[in-house]
């Protein structure tokens, strides 16, 4: 049986990105790419269970820049493709439309010869990863879930966010839960993200991360841990939450919450200065911490 620190479950996406000035870029992305690169750069041994049509989005090619990542491809007749239209230079406002969908993950897609300490669900839309799949993953190791794929639905013309109907049943199965401020409000009805984190903890999740464009907060039921974001520019804004969460998970394997939170904030601050997934190293992040967080 092969062992990895983190197995990330999520499909590739053929993204069509239209910037606020009209420039169009087509690239293979998805939460699994941003998360995989971030966790591997942060010292974790990573496997990605990525499902899709390799003729549309080749997983081996997508992860080639990080050869230390073990790629476990699962074939699908279809592939996810998403249109992102950004309305502002800081990319905080965007309109997303699903152009196509991957076939849903099923428990039988899980490899029998690879085991992980943490199973990180990094889908893109409702239907990618079923509640049954979440339950099966929780039985194999510590479960980490980016809640986006349980809230974002394809409405045909756009993708909108709705509450997770079965949250009270499945949140107790989750060790690490990640939302952004808007998703936390959808789940709890609260605009105060600190109060929302308390509610999500009371519903059963063990550690709640809520990301915002100014800071990262983590709540463990006893205290809040916070770290500011300090990017020098926002040209690499896409993938902010995925990078933050995966970096945090990598550091939580052996370290405490405070250390992991600050590391994740510095990592994503550095990543946001360059488009694409994080291509730096732990050393780069620690230098950034020394210069911008310790000074």
Write out pLDDT tens, residues 110-123: 999 999 999 999 99
Total H helices, total E strands in the chain: 10, 15
Quote the number of domains for the chain: 1
Helices 240-252 and 31-41, interaxial angle, to 10°? Answer: 40
DSSP one-letter string for 84-107: EEE-STT--SEEEEEEE-PPPB-G
Given a cut of 80, is residue 90 above it in pLDDT? no
* Domain membership flag for residue 135: yes
Given a cut of 90, is residue 53 above it in pLDDT? yes
What does the pLDDT look like over 139-174, one tens digit per residue? 999 999 999 999 999 988 888 999 999 999 999 999
* Domain membership flag for residue 43: yes
Q: For 267, what's the count of Cα atoms within 13 Å in the CB-facing half-sphere? A: 36
Task: Look at 81-90, 140-149, 265-274 and tell me which has the smallest mean pLDDT.
Answer: 81-90
Residue 224 CA to chain centroid, in angstroms?
A: 21
* Domain membership flag for residue 94: no
Strand partners, 24: 18
Q: What's the residue count for the chain?
A: 295
Given a cut of 90, is residue 287 above it in pLDDT? yes
pLDDT, position 295: 73
Q: With contact defined as beta carbons under 8 Å apart, do 80 and 33 qualify? A: no
* Domain membership flag for residue 287: yes
* Domain membership flag for residue 82: no
Residue 96 — pLDDT band, cuts 50, 70, 90? Answer: confident
* Domain membership flag for residue 95: no
Q: 284: exposed, middle or buried (C-beta count within 10 Å: 0-12, 13-18, 19+)?
A: middle
Residue 46 or 92, more confident: 46
CATH number for the domain spanning 225: value is 3.40.1190.20
Q: What is the domain extent for residue 258?
A: 2-11+31-49+115-292
DSSP 103: P
pLDDT, position 261: 98
**Distance spanning both ends of the chain, measured CA to CA:** 45
pLDDT, position 242: 97
Phi, psi of 173 (to 5 degrees): -85, -10
Q: With contact defined as beta carbons under 8 Å apart, do 283 and 147 qualify? A: no
Reduce the DSSP state of residue 109 to 3 states and report it. Answer: helix
Given a cut of 80, is residue 266 above it in pLDDT? yes
* Domain membership flag for residue 88: no
pLDDT, position 265: 97
């Amino acid at each position: 049986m092969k062992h990895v620190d983190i197995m990330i479950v999520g499909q590739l996406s053929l993204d069509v990105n239209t910037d606020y000035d009209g420039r169009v870029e087509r690239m293979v992305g998805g939460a699994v790419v941003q998360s995989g690169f971030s966790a591997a750069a942060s010292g974790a041994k990573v496997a990605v269970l990525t499902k899709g049509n390799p003729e549309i989005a080749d997983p081996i090619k997508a992860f080639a820049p990080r050869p230390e990542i073990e790629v476990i491809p699962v074939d699908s007749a279809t592939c996810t493709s998403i249109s992102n239209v950004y309305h502002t230079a800081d990319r905080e406002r965007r309109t997303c439309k699903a152009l196509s969908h991957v076939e849903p993950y099923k428990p039988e897609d899980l490899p029998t010869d690879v085991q992980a300490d943490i199973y990180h669900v990094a889908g893109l839309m409702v239907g990618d990863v079923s509640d049954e799949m979440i339950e099966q993953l929780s039985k194999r190791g510590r479960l980490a879930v980016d809640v986006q794929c349980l809230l974002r639905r394809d409405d045909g013309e756009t993708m909108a966010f709705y509450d997770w109907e079965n949250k009270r049943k499945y949140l107790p199965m989750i060790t690490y839960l990640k939302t952004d401020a808007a998703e936390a409000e959808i789940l709890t009805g609260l605009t105060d993200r600190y109060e929302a984190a308390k509610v999500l903890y009371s519903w059963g999740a063990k550690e709640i991360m809520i990301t915002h464009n100014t800071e990262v907060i983590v709540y463990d039921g006893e205290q809040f841990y916070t770290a500011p974001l300090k990017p020098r520019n926002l040209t690499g804004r896409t993938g902010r939450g995925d990078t933050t969460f995966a970096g945090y998970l990598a550091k939580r394997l052996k370290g405490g919450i405070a250390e992991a939170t600050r590391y994740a904030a510095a990592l994503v601050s550095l990543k946001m200065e360059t488009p694409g997934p994080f291509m730096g190293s732990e050393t780069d992040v620690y230098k950034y911490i020394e210069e911008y967080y310790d000074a």
